[in-house]
Chain A
């Protein structure tokens, strides 16, 4: 299992990372609003993460750090 860290406050809730993830790890948090007023990304199934970094590759805002 890889480790994901998010700069949640700067996330713009665009969802490009959610679409890029092949394992369904990520989702936009419908019940949370960050300081910028967006529904930020969160890992809903972190145990499924394979550390491919597709999410981070498609994130325009460098929100996601991926470690293995």
Chain B
């Protein structure tokens, strides 16, 4: 009996991510959910600009590449034109919380019936480790070599907390992939975010706290420890909004 194997919706090709980068775990979870819901044939994914820019090579469903930060706008267009299809975006924190903030907030406010997978690794990974809107106070990056000074650069943006103040979105949750227990919980949240779309409930965003060993300057193992000791205390895990929480039980 097979206990664990690569999901079908994930292409059988090597991923270009750095060793131990948890983008790969999150790709797999999305693909497992696509398999379990039997929606590979009607799913359209929107890839971002960032390290996951080549996500279009890694999922076996249809994929579209959006301009930096504009994935929710592209997803809106696809979903409105093809409402029977399942549309998801996969976006980093630079993509979603910086250049694409307007698209993020307005698609949530409109309660677009799309699924957003938001990878928060507190850095611009692809471009070499610059400070992101999500970089922690005091975090050393290429553009904050003495640590992020909040008096100069302002404070990190907590996307889940912020979006949950809007009346629009259906489901907003934050998860992490730094250990087996959290990976399993992350899968559940991602599955719910896709099921909500299948059930026509509306905008569902899952923020996944992810690692960037390369630009954090840590080994893959130490990077997961940093997620636990630094990221999760600042970005508490949990469900921030779930409009149909009671009726789903």
A10 in the interface, Cβ–Cβ < 8 Å? Answer: yes
B180 in the interface, Cβ–Cβ < 8 Å? Answer: yes
Q: Are A57 and B184 in contact (CB under 8 A)?
A: yes
Can you report 14 residue pairs joining A to B where beta carbons are below 8 Å apart? A2-B3, A12-B18, A14-B19, A14-B213, A16-B20, A16-B221, A20-B179, A51-B3, A57-B4, A58-B179, A61-B15, A61-B24, A67-B1, A68-B3
Contact flags B217-246 to A (C-beta < 8 A → 1, else 0): 001110010000000000000000000000
Measured in the bound complex, the distance between the Cα atoms of B1 and A2 in whole Å is 10
- A59: B residues at CB distance < 8 A: 24-25
- A56: B residues at CB distance < 8 A: 3-4
- B28: A residues at CB distance < 8 A: 60, 62
Q: A20-B180, A61-B14, A61-B24 are in contact. Are A13 and B4 (CB under 8 A)?
A: no
B155 in the interface, Cβ–Cβ < 8 Å? Answer: no
- B5: A residues at CB distance < 8 A: 62, 65-66
A43 in the interface, Cβ–Cβ < 8 Å? Answer: no
Q: Are A60 and B25 in contact (CB under 8 A)?
A: yes
B141 in the interface, Cβ–Cβ < 8 Å? Answer: no
Q: How far is the CB of A18 from chain B (nearest CB, A)?
A: 9
- A29: B residues at CB distance < 8 A: none
Q: Are B221 and A15 in contact (CB under 8 A)?
A: yes
Q: Which residue of A lies closest to B178 (CB)?
A: A58
Q: A16-B221, A19-B221 are in contact. Are A64 and B183 (CB under 8 A)?
A: no
Q: Which 9 A-B pairs have the closest CB atoms?
A: A60-B24, A14-B20, A12-B19, A14-B19, A53-B4, A56-B4, A62-B6, A66-B4, A66-B3
Q: Are B19 and A38 in contact (CB under 8 A)?
A: yes
Measured in the bound complex, the distance between the Cα atoms of B219 and A38 in whole Å is 14
- B18: A residues at CB distance < 8 A: 12
Total A-B Cβ pairs within 8 A: 71
Q: How far is the CB of A55 from chain B (nearest CB, A)?
A: 9
- Count of B interface residues, CB-CB < 8 Å: 28
Q: Are B19 and A67 in contact (CB under 8 A)?
A: no
Contact flags B1-25 to A (C-beta < 8 A → 1, else 0): 1111110001000110111111111
Measured in the bound complex, the distance between the Cα atoms of B25 and A16 in whole Å is 11
Measured in the bound complex, the distance between the Cα atoms of B5 and A65 in whole Å is 5
Cβ < 8 Å to A, chain B residues 44-101: none
Cβ < 8 Å to A, chain B residues 131-188: 179-180, 183-184
Q: Are A67 and B2 in contact (CB under 8 A)?
A: yes
Q: How far is the CB of B20 from chain A (nearest CB, A)?
A: 3
Q: Are A54 and B1 in contact (CB under 8 A)?
A: no
Measured in the bound complex, the distance between the Cα atoms of B196 and A28 in whole Å is 41
- A68: B residues at CB distance < 8 A: 1, 3
Q: Are A60 and B3 in contact (CB under 8 A)?
A: no
Q: A12-B20, A15-B20, A15-B220 are in contact. Are A60 and B15 (CB under 8 A)?
A: yes
